[in-house]
Amino acid sequence: MAAVLMGAVGASSVRAADLVQHVVCLKFKEGTSHDDIRKVEDAFRALKTKINIVLTLEWGTNVSKENRAKGFTHCFILKFADEKDVNAYIAHPDHKAFGALLGPVLDDVFVIDFHSKE
């Protein structure tokens, strides 16, 4: 029997097998100011409060010593109840507004979605 999670989605339950991890890694254009990067960080973090289908949002900056980041400095990991919610998030006006803020300072982005497995 699949595990059922309760919580962030209110009274409804979410099957653990349906959960989707949405991973976004950002590479900023050379010369992007610390202030502009901070604005992107703040705006990305705010998406959790603006879009109620985001179950969790974790983020951080690269600290790896392996020198394999290919210039990517930031990673954001969001959790959704299912792929339908990921698609709704992508189409959401607040997500699109975030994209407009990010676009001028973005050099590259890497996105992958996956269902967690043990």
pLDDT mean over 99-115: 98
Per DSSP bridges, beta strands 20-28 and 106-115 are antiparallel
Range of the domain at 45: 4-115
| CATH code of the domain containing 84 | 3.30.70.100
Name, in order, each residue with C-beta under 8 angstroms of 22's C-beta and a sequence gap of 6 or more. Answer: 77, 78, 79, 80, 86, 89, 111, 113
- Its pTM stands at 0.87
Number of domains, the chain: 1
- 10 pLDDT exceeds 50? no
Is the distance from CB of 90 to CB of 64 less than 8 angstroms? no
Give the pLDDT confidence score for residue 82 in this predicted structure: 97
Between 15-24, 62-71, 84-93, 99-108, the lowest mean confidence (pLDDT) is in: 15-24
Place 12 in a pLDDT band, splitting at 50, 70 and 90.
Answer: low
Residue of 28 and 15 predicted with greater confidence: 28
Cα-Cα-Cα-Cα dihedral of 31, 36, 38, 44, to 10°? -110
- The predicted-structure confidence for 21-58, as pLDDT tens digits, reads as follows 999 999 999 999 999 999 999 999 999 999 999 999 99
